[in-house]
């Protein structure tokens, strides 16, 4: 990729046509000794994955990429990598298109409440694979009818295609900056920028977990990416991102 201004990310970028999942491919390369910063970009995915074994629909036109990171930071802070990745996606989309893009806890990027992107971070020992999916020049007609009302793409919002390589370049540069902030212990600043972009905070939410539903006011995000919800009994409950099966925003 020409003129990529990064220090860690994208020293090596592998472009593939289709792949089962870029996260699996990045993980495979990492297990073979691939260095930190390598990126796998696919034109489409056959078995794109979301969290909790869910499917990520990955037709041509979208961005599907995974980055190999080897942070020398306590694994307890790894959830902040999901937050910094979604901040990078929002900065990129806002900067390139002006679209009013925000984040939804724990790992969604949304435009007008509709999901335009998602992050899937998977840690294996001290390696984190950051998977990012963005519906860029994606036609909404390619989504199953059950999803059509809750998803959007940048092309749909703008009514025009956007240069995919340029979006990838800016995105990798934004992630590189934020990842270096993360390594320099600026996690609080990342959490604070993420919080400013979040529509979940300050709203009443209902969160489905394997142990039951948690309802209340989404007050803030903790330093480990956990959502602090003030229940109707006035007590704060912490919900870890990995436990959130479904997050529903209640209209106030
Ligand atoms: C996510 O999961 O949002 C994480 C998605 C990460 C995808 C990237 S693509 C590159 C890398 N390689 C992979 O294999 N994965 C990563 P989750 O929060 O579990 O959301 C999944 C849910 O979003 C699904 O159950 C659908 O409801 C919905 N969904 C599926 N495909 C979508 C799409 N393309 N756009 C918007 N929503 C989608």
Indicate whether residue 120 lines ligand 1 (CB < 6 A): yes
Q: Is the CB of 238 under 6 A from ligand 1?
A: no
What local confidence, expressed as pLDDT, does residue 52 receive?
Answer: 94
Cβ of residue 216 lying under 6 Å from some atom of ligand 1: no
End-to-end CA, the chain: 46
* Ligand 1 neighbourhood includes 105 CB (under 6 angstroms): no
Q: How many CB atoms lie within 10 A of CB 79?
A: 23
Whether the CB of 147 sits within 6 Å of ligand 1:
yes
The overall average pLDDT reported for the chain is 96
Which residue owns the Cα nearest ligand 1 atom 23?
Answer: 56
Residue 154 has what pLDDT? 98
Looking at residue 11, its pLDDT comes to: 94
Q: Which residues pair with 246 in a beta bridge?
A: 208
Q: Tally the residues of the chain.
A: 252
- 107 in the Ramachandran plot: left (φ > 0), alpha (ψ -120 to 50) or beta? alpha
Residue whose token pair is 């995105």 = 171
* Distance from residue 115's CA to the centre of ligand 1 (Å): 9
Nearest to 238 by CA among 246, 227, 247: 227
User: How far, CA to CA in Å, does 55 sit from each of 46, 51, 104, 125?
Assistant: 10, 8, 18, 24
Contact 70, 38 (CB under 8 A): no
Phi, psi of 203 (to 5 degrees): -110, 160
- Regarding the beta carbon of 142 and ligand 1, being less than 6 Å apart is answered no
**What is the model's pLDDT at position 8?**
98
Pairing of strands 39-45, 13-19: parallel
Alpha carbon of 147 to those of 115, 144, 250: distances in Å? 10, 6, 20
Whole-number Å distance, alpha carbon 234 to ligand 1 midpoint, is: 34
Cis, peptide link before residue 116, omega less than 30° from 0: no
Per-residue model confidence (pLDDT) at position 1: 84
Rounded average pLDDT per 10-residue block, the chain, 252 residues: 94 95 98 97 97 96 98 93 98 98 97 97 95 98 95 98 98 98 96 95 96 96 94 96 94 62
Q: What is the pTM of this model?
A: 0.97
Residue 52 CA, closest ligand 1 atom number: 19
What residues contact 202, with CB distance under 8 A and at least 6 apart? 217, 218, 219
* Helix boundaries (H) for 2-78: 22-31
Name the β-bridge partners of 209: 212
Give the atom of ligand 1 at the shortest distance from the alpha carbon of 22.
Answer: 12
CB distance 152 to ligand 1 below 6 Å: no
Joined together, the tokens standing for residue 156 give: 């749909």
pLDDT score of 252 = 55
Nearest to 245 by CA among 214, 220, 202: 214
Q: What is the b/e burial string over 178-216, where b = at least 16 CB atoms within 10 angstroms of the residue's CB?
A: bbebbeeebbeebbebbbebbebbeebbebeeeeeebeb
Q: Measuring from atom 15 of ligand 1, which residue has the nearest CA?
A: 49
CA–centroid distance, 232 to ligand 1, in Å, is 31
Q: How many CA atoms lie within 13 A of 30 on its CB side?
A: 25
Q: Which atom of ligand 1 is nearest to the CA of 42?
A: 10
């Amino acid at each position: 990729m020409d003129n990529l201004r990064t220090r860690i990310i994208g020293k090596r970028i592998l472009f593939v046509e289709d792949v089962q999942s870029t996260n699996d491919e990045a993980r495979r390369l990492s297990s073979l000794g691939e260095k930190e910063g390598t990126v796998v970009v696919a034109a489409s995915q056959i078995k794109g994955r979301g969290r909790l074994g869910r499917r990520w629909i990955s037709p041509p036109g979208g961005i599907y990429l995974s980055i190999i990171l080897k942070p020398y930071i306590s694994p307890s802070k790894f959830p902040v990598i999901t937050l910094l990745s979604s901040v990078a996606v929002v900065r990129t989309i806002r900067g390139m298109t002006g679209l009013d893009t925000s984040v939804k806890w724990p790992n969604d990027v949304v435009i007008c409440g509709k999901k335009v992107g998602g992050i899937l971070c998977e840690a294996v020992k001290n390696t984190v694979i950051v998977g990012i999916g963005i519906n860029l020049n994606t036609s909404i007609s390619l989504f199953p009818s059950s999803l059509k009302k809750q998803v959007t793409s940048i092309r749909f919002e703008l009514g025009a295609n956007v240069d995919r390589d340029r979006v990838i370049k800016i995105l990798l540069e934004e992630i590189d900056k934020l990842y270096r902030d993360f390594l320099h212990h600026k996690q609080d600043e990342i959490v604070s920028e993420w919080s400013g972009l979040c529509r979940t905070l300050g709203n009443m939410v209902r969160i489905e977990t394997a142990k039951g539903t948690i309802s209340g006011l989404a007050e803030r995000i903790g330093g480990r990416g956990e959502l602090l919800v003030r229940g109707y009994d006035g007590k704060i409950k912490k919900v870890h991102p990995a436990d959130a099966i479904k997050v529903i925003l209640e209209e106030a």
